[in-house]
């Protein structure tokens, strides 16, 4: 038997960590989770492909048909160009919502307990999950964007815009991932979460500007659209990718604040999830 | 010297169910201590309180002199924990599973890979270390979990039913590893089980738990000798619980079936 590591002389942190140590831990845990997420993606590349089927269908069928029949007026922008960022946001949304289901699975399998017993503050654990969802969304976005290019969508290639696009995806995914974890923390069971997950993702998607311009919506839907973070994500993605008008400062502001608020709420509910 | 673990008047209720009902426990440093009891006795609940997963009031639990309620992070750094379910991440390789926990316990980057390799080797997993852990047998997953718990060099190793759902050979393998870990590091091991026979063979001291309380405590030999020659730990248990049969608890049944199914699914 080879040498097992023996306990260090003194446990480093005897007191609860201060804000600086907390920030360091959060950063370190995010890096770790990000790495693990990439390892998982490397082991299961088929997932990138299977998850690309749905966005591909939206672009190919819905996008092509509606471009041809010109049912949705999008001004000088071809409908397919208009749609591509919306589908990008949709695929990120579906990935992020899945994280709530995953965390319940992790709870049932004892994985969550093991993670919670490590010296990792709850907020770091949730923050790391949120970031992981973003990493997956970005990986998925590459596939969707390549597809869009093949279909002839005119996409921006300015590196600054690409960086901003990645940021928008990360923030949006963080929000929806933590929304899903929050619901998981409230309903505590996978079956109930799956039901609720479906009951909210579709409305979130249809009550957003992903498929049609805001101006076409009836008044009440415009109101919903205003409080739907997905719409701000789509607006930012669309502005960056195809150059439609976007209130980028407002979009990023809303995404950032809603992501932070949701991370805090989800962290507060995590112990409840572990207890259940 | 403070004990490795001290619990005083520990209590936990879930709704109307009293899971832990005034539990007192003291585990000395360096021993392999068995917490024994039938399904639903409250073993897992006790462990979850010790590991900070369930809240405990200040003063109720001390791990190596640190109060679990007040010095949560310090306590977490001191313990290694293997839950009742088989809980490795199947999509990651064995090595990635262990490296993840090395990072989560802030094992310094310099020497981290060596430390991961060393614990994998100590658990006889070097050859399969780069295979996804979903291809492992139940015994291998358990040893992988031991490796995950050991990579941070904890001072108190807590194992919840480490042999449940394993075949006899895999069970012996796990107990062998527990013995060699203790011999190599001198760490304290707290293990729960409902297999009296296994505890008799492998634990230096045991506590018999029934309906949330410790009914008897001591070395297996002490406990058996007190009842006269030819007795087993099963007899001791019955003696102290007024002839309750193992598995007699009204609450444990269904939950255990579910847990066993879950384990079977993950292993199978
Ligand atoms: N999260 C929970 N919610 C409600 N009741 C619970 C919960 N966890 C445990 N219980 C109840 O508390 C009691 C003790 O359960 P516990 O899991 O601690 O027993 P155990 O000794 O670990 O049993 P087993 O051998 O089945 O693992 C049981 O009656 C159980 O039904
Ligand atoms: Mg148990």
pLDDT tens for each residue of B235-246: 888 888 876 655
What part of B 88-117 touches A (C-beta under 8 Å)? 89, 91-93, 96, 100-101, 103-106, 115
Q: What is the pLDDT of residues A62-77, one digit of tens each?
A: 888 888 887 777 878 8
What pLDDT sits at residue B210?
A: 93
Cβ–Cβ gap B118/A2 under 8 Å = yes
A124-159 exposure pattern, b = at least 16 Cβ within 10 A, e = fewer: bbbbbbbbbbbbbbbbbbebbbebbeebebebeeee
For residue B249, report the distance from its CA to the centre of ligand 2, in Å.
13
Number of residues written out for chain B: 268
Number of residues written out for chain A: 276
Average pLDDT over residues A48-74: 84
Average pLDDT over residues B39-61: 94
Q: Which residue does chain B place closest to A121, by CA atoms?
A: B73
What pLDDT sits at residue A239?
A: 93
Of all protein residues, the one whose alpha carbon is nearest to atom 16 of ligand 1 is B42
Would you place residue A193 in the very low, low, confident or very high pLDDT band (cuts 50, 70, 90)? confident
Would you place residue A7 in the very low, low, confident or very high pLDDT band (cuts 50, 70, 90)? low
Res. B25: pLDDT tops 90:
yes
Average pLDDT over residues A73-102: 90
Three-class DSSP category at B157: strand
What pLDDT sits at residue A14?
A: 63
Of all protein residues, the one whose alpha carbon is nearest to atom 13 of ligand 1 is B19
What pLDDT sits at residue B249?
A: 46
For residue B222, report the distance from its CA to the centre of ligand 2, in Å.
26
Q: What is the pLDDT of residues A119-155, one digit of tens each?
A: 988 888 999 899 999 999 999 899 899 989 998 888 8
Would you place residue A167 in the very low, low, confident or very high pLDDT band (cuts 50, 70, 90)? very high
Question: Rounded to a whole number, what is the distance in Å from the CA of A199 to chain B's nearest CA?
Answer: 28
What pLDDT sits at residue B42?
A: 94
Q: Which residue does chain A place closest to B92, by CA atoms?
A: A40
What pLDDT sits at residue A121?
A: 87
Counting from 1 in the atom list of ligand 1, the atom nearest the Cα of B48 is 18
Would you place residue A52 in the very low, low, confident or very high pLDDT band (cuts 50, 70, 90)? confident
Chain A residues closer than 8 Å to B85 by CB: 108-110
Give the C-alpha distances (Å, rounded to integers) separating B218 from B35, B124, B221: 11, 32, 8
The whole domain housing B69 covers 5-267
B203, B34 Cβ separation under 8 angstroms:
yes
Give the C-alpha distances (Å, rounded to integers) separating B213 from B17, B46, B56: 13, 10, 16
Average pLDDT over residues B202-214: 94
Of B48, B77, B83, the CB nearest to A11: B77
Average pLDDT score, chain B: 88
Average pLDDT over residues B139-146: 94
What pLDDT sits at residue B244?
A: 60
Q: What is the pLDDT of residues A222-254, one digit of tens each?
A: 888 889 999 999 999 999 998 888 899 999 999
Q: Work out how many domains chain B is built from and give that number.
A: 1
Name the residue among A168, A6, A8, A190 with its Cα closest to residue B119: A6
Average pLDDT over residues B11-34: 94
Name the residue among A156, A135, A151 with its Cα closest to residue A42: A135
Which two tokens mark B184? 């190599």
Would you place residue B266 in the very low, low, confident or very high pLDDT band (cuts 50, 70, 90)? very low
Beta bridge mates, B93: B132
Domain boundaries, chain A: 24-275
């Amino acid at each position: 038997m080879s040498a097992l590591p023996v306990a260090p002389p003194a446990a480093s942190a005897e007191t609860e960590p201060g804000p600086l140590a907390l920030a360091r831990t959060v950063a370190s845990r995010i890096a770790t989770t990000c790495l693990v997420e990439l390892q998982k993606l490397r082991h299961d590349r088929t997932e990138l492909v299977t998850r690309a089927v749905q966005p591909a269908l939206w672009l190919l069928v819905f996008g092509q048909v509606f471009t041809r029949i010109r049912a949705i007026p999008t001004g000088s922008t071809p409908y397919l160009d208009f749609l591509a960022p919306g589908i990008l946001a949709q695929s990120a949304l579906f990935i992020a919502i899945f994280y709530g289901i995953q965390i319940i699975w992790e709870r049932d399998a004892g994985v969550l307990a093991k993670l919670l017993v490590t010296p990792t503050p709850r907020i770091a654990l949730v923050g790391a999950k949120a970031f992981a969802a973003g990493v997956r969304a970005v990986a998925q976005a590459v596939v969707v964007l390549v597809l869009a290019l093949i279909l002839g969508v005119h996409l921006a290639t300015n590196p600054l815009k690409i960086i901003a696009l990645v940021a928008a995806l990360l923030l949006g995914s963080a929000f929806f991932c933590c929304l899903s974890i929050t619901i998981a923390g409230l309903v505590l069971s996978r079956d109930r979460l799956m039901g609720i997950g479906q009951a909210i993702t579709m409305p979130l998607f249809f009550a957003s500007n992903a498929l049609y311009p805001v101006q076409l919506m009836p008044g009440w839907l415009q109101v919903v659209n205003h409080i739907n973070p997905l719409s701000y994500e789509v607006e930012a993605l669309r502005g960056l990718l195809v150059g439609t008008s976007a209130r980028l400062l407002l979009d990023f502001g809303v995404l950032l604040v809603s992501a932070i608020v949701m991370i805090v709420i989800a962290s507060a509910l995590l112990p409840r999830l572990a207890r259940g | 010297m403070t004990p490795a673990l001290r619990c005083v008047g520990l209590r936990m209720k879930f709704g109307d169910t009293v899971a832990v009902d005034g539990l007192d426990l003291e585990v000395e440093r360096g021993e392999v201590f068995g917490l024994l009891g039938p399904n639903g006795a409250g073993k897992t609940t006790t462990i979850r309180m010790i590991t900070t997963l369930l809240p405990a009031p200040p003063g109720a639990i001390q791990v190596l002199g640190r109060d679990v309620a007040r010095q949560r992070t310090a306590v977490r750094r001191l313990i290694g924990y293997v839950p009742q379910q088989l809980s490795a991440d199947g999509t990651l390789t064995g090595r990635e599973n262990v490296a993840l926990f090395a990072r989560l316990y802030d094992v310094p980057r310099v020497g981290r890979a060596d430390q991961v390799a060393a614990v994998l080797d100590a658990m006889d997993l070097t050859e399969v270390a780069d295979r996804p852990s979903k291809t492992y047998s139940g015994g291998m997953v358990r040893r992988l979990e031991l490796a995950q718990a050991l990579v941070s060099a904890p001072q108190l190793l807590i194992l919840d039913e480490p042999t449940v759902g394993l075949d006899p050979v895999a069970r012996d393998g796990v107990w062998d590893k527990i013995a060699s870990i203790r011999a190599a590091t001198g760490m304290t091991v707290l293990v729960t089980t409902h297999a009296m026979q296994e505890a008799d063979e492998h634990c230096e001291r045991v506590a018999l738990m029934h309906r949330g309380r410790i009914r008897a405590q001591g070395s297996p030999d002490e406990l058996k000798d007190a009842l006269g020659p030819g007795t087993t730990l099963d007899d001791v248990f019955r003696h102290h619980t007024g002839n309750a049969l193992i598995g007699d608890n009204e609450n444990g049944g269904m939950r255990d079936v579910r847990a066993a199914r879950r384990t079977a699914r993950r292993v199978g």
